[in-house]
Amino acid sequence: DIQMTQSPSSLSASVGDRVTITCRASQGIRNDLGWYQQKPGKAPKRLIYVASSLQSGVPSRFSGSGSGTEFTLTISTLQPEDFATYYCLQHNSYPWTFGQGTKVEIK
Element (H, E) at 51: none
Q: Which of 14/94 has CB closer to other proteins?
A: 94
Alpha carbon of residue 60 to chain centroid: 14
Taking the complex as a whole, how short is the minimal distance between the CB of residue 95 and other proteins, in angstroms?
Answer: 5
**Mask of contacts with other proteins, 40-79, x by CB under 8 A?**
---xxxx--xx--x-x------------------------
Which residues 6+ apart lie within 8 Å of 38 measured at CB?
44, 45, 84, 85, 86, 87, 101
Residue 87 engages other proteins in binding (rule: CB under 8 A) = yes
Residue 101 engages other proteins in binding (rule: CB under 8 A) = yes
Number of residues near other proteins (by CB under 8 A):
25
92 close to 32: Cβ distance less than 8 angstroms = yes
92 close to 29: Cβ distance less than 8 angstroms = yes
Chain residues binding other proteins by CB under 8 A are 1, 32-34, 36, 38, 43-46, 49-50, 53, 55, 87, 89, 91, 94-101
